[in-house]
Amino acid sequence: MTEKYSAKIVPLNEDKIGTAAHGTATFEIENDVMKIHISMKDTPKNTQHWEHFHGFPDGKEAQIATKAQDVNGDGFVDLPETEPVSGTTMVPFDAAPHDMNVPNDTYPVSNDKGSFEYEKEVPLNKLQAKFKEVFGTDDLELDKRVIYVHGVPDDLDLPDTIAGAVGHYDQHVTLPIAVGKIVKD
């Protein structure tokens, strides 16, 4: 039996970054493989875009962040401001999602038109084992998660009030640019 999930990805911070990133994501689980396909348009061009699903380890349903999450009033919704409604970063959509190694340089890079496609077949048993190691359960509960796409060019002027650095990656890398609620099809 095949399980299918999808997300309509809508812009976040678009009025501040100059592009309204949007797209779709699909997740298809069959046998021991999760096929992931993410298609994005109107992202900042020629930029690496971190993308992940976020959620709550206790199984609480995650919601997408909106401008209402801009608690410090700087006009941006940064990564820490998404956490109360969306939870924590869980699984990256990079070269090896099943390793759950979030900070790295193997995420998609948009083309000169601001588009990119991400496709990956992930060994479900490896992803579930790592998920259990980190979050205490092997149930991914995709329909309780949200997907985020991050990343703006290094030369975009950001206020000092934006937080969200991860390791040596600064706020340009982690600033959310789009978000979508994952639903079961």
Total H helices, total E strands in the chain: 4, 8
Is the predicted pLDDT of residue 25 greater than 90, yes or no?
A: yes
What is the overall mean pLDDT for the chain?
Answer: 97
- The first and second tokens of residue 138, run together, are 């092997």
Query: What is the model's pLDDT at position 86?
Result: 98
Is the predicted pLDDT of residue 102 greater than 90, yes or no?
A: yes
Query: What is the model's pLDDT at position 28?
Result: 98
Is the predicted pLDDT of residue 104 greater than 90, yes or no?
A: yes
pTM confidence score: 0.97
Nearest to 152 by CA among 137, 141, 162: 162
pLDDT category, 96, cuts 50, 70, 90?
very high
Is the predicted pLDDT of residue 1 greater than 90, yes or no?
A: no
